[in-house]
Structure 1
Amino acid sequence: MTDTTGGPAQLRARLAATGYLADDGLATACHLALALHRPIFCEGAPGAGKTSLATALAEALDAPLIRLQCYEGIDAAQALYDWDFPRQLLHLRAGHDDTDLYDERFLVTRPLLRALRTSPAVLLIDEIDRADDEFEAFLLELLSEYTVTIPELGTVRAVAPPAVVLTSNRTREVHDALKRRCLYHWFDHPDFARELAIVRRRRPDVSEQLARQVTAAVRRIRGADLIKPPGVAETIDWAEALAVLGAEALETDSGVATLGTVVKYHEDLEPARAALREELGA
């Protein structure tokens, strides 16, 4: 899939129109990935905007988003295609010829095959670090040629390669061979101004004062010794939760009561409370 928006600046504007505020580096990486038909490998902490990039890119390019969620033990059959064995068995019991068993109508299309057959498309391969080495090697081969052979039906080749976004939370290191096939972008937490702009764009009903205070408080909490520091998604959730409660500003009591939108581990609650009180001078 080719970037038809005109260049990095234009693509950044298209992404912003969807509510996703990309910096110059990310907009350039996305433009080059589309122009060169290369996947973009997005690595960084959870909640930094990796997965939502694919959603925004699909909207900006007016293309369907096809998502493959990786997990331990995933294999080619679960990601590419499989055969509908119950229907095939019913077909045989009905007295039909077994030469039709591997007809297209019995093919169960999984995300990777669906992405090859759909043009244009944005393919999100989410949390590739959760898959094993064998699946990673299979994926490298597929992304090199955008072609797959189904023995019973023949070769499927993408008319136009999909735009591919791979994400990793670094639970393990992904092999260099796959990374070399991709353009790389590291996702860090945005600076204060951009994070505030993201909150205001995503939750325009939140007051300016509350958005500023929540953004500052989350940044303070990230500096505490936490198992899982909050991402931008948690900043947005916290601002929305407080707004639902009718808050116009962040206060100690309401902030502590809603910390469950920000921290997700029991061990992180006390450090987060302390950081919040420090931020508010309480």
Structure 2
Amino acid sequence: MWTLFEPVHAVTYFAPQARARYEAVGLRGYWRGYFAGRAAAFGPVGPGPVHATFFGFHPAMVRRALPDVWTRATPADTLAARLDGARAALDDVLGSVPAADVAEAAELLRSAAGQADLAGRALAAAHADLPWPADPVGVLWQAATVLREHRGDGHVATLVNAGLDGVEALVWRSALDSDREVLQPNRGWSDEEWDAAATRLVERGWLEVDGRPTTAARTARDDIERRTDELAVAPWRGLGGTATERLASLLHPIAMAARTHLPAMNPIGLPAPHRSA
């Protein structure tokens, strides 16, 4: 289910319509829009809660954005721009999906989001408190956002429970299936900080001295992903098997359309081109 709702949410990070709406309210530059957009549900928050809940970013990178972004756009204006940009991005690609299917998917996804257990899930709870849009595409995006942050909050808790800090999680991930050249600069860590984290992972037994992941690192990935999924199951258990299967069938063409806004190489969940029941 994550791979089917994540692309719906993620247009806010990659679609040109989303970036244009941020710029229109004064948030010029990619990272101003990113930090303001995700954090605005908290209100005019400072860097501390954002560093904690977003997890993998260097504290200095967060401080460069916050609280400065609130001098450029209010949280209310930012939230409106974010929703409007996501809606425009989805409208751009959903022309081949019947409107009735979008509306049904939106209501089922909203119902699933309403089943999310929010205790200890700061980002998900903040977004769940926002008013619901009146249109199906807006509801679809908002529900995907609540569910996305719900899963993400659980994932962060699992990483912390595994004894990983933000940079260690990135170094470990880049060794497994991602790219240091993308992750390191996009999260603001220096070479010295990155290499020190790699040394700690070698000492832990998760990396070889040449940077390759060990069997223990791969086992840990499987355990952490399994636990993340377990912590994210409440919305689907609440929705029920039949409705969840119906939602999956409705979301697949929507997610495939949304992924046209997303780069081919990225660390988020993407749906398979073909879905079997």
Per the shorter chain, which TM-score range? Answer: under 0.3
Higher strand residue share? 1
Q: Which has the higher helix share?
A: 2
